[in-house]
Amino acid sequence: MRDGDLQQFLDVTASAFATRAAPGSDPARVVAEVFGRCAQPAPPAGEARAARMAACGWFDAALALARAGGPAAVADALARLGPRLPWARRASADPADRSFYDGHANAMILGPGGIEPRADLWIGLSLIAPGVTYPFHSHPPEEVYLPLAPGEWWNERMDWTDPGPAGLIYNPPGIRHAMRAGKTPFLALWILPL
């Protein structure tokens, strides 16, 4: 019911999140909830159409950084899914702000409009060009990020932080948060239970 490349991505990604989440922590609870739901594939529905954005030119460089210093198995699984990713800009991105407009892209992998469309969770990817900041935003569900290529995160309770390749970032429900690339492209996965 679920193709091998997507299942392989889920297996290595669940493991990467789980090994980084301290037992009993909020991230550990979210990881168990999201990947527990994934055990049940969504009923067949139309896979989102693959799309590319200007920022996708940074994808291969970001994957190379992830292979070198991050979870290499996740990078390899994402490389295999690469041609199917439905990259999109943030809906509110302003074309007048070329740096951000052409300097970021998000792809839903499992979730609404994803490779596996489903309504009970989001698992997706954010790619940010060097020197670009992803603006402050918030959403009701809590969220856990897995850094793939280096970057920094901020939220209302945390100064700008680079969790390193062995870390995770947890954003409580509704908190204002942001992230930014340094001198290299930023790549991270996010999971949210809906």
Residues in contact with Fe ion by CB under 5 A are 143
Beta strands 186-193; 143-149: pairing state: antiparallel
Any bridge partners for residue 180, and if so which?
Answer: 133, 152
Record the tokens describing residue 63, joined without a space: 């994957």
Shortest distance, CB of residue 44 to Fe ion, whole angstroms?
28
CB 124 within 8 A of CB 114: yes
Shortest distance, CB of residue 146 to Fe ion, whole angstroms?
13
Shortest distance, CB of residue 137 to Fe ion, whole angstroms?
6
Shortest distance, CB of residue 34 to Fe ion, whole angstroms?
14
Contacts of 190 (CB under 8 A, 6+ apart): 122, 123, 124, 125, 126, 143, 144, 145, 146
Nearer to Fe ion, 77 or 191 (CB): 191
Nearer to Fe ion, 143 or 152 (CB): 143
Nearer to Fe ion, 41 or 167 (CB): 167
- Locate tokens 């970057």: which residue? 151
The SS3 of residue 182 is: coil
Q: Which residue's CB atom is positioned nearest to Fe ion?
A: 143
Nearer to Fe ion, 116 or 143 (CB): 143
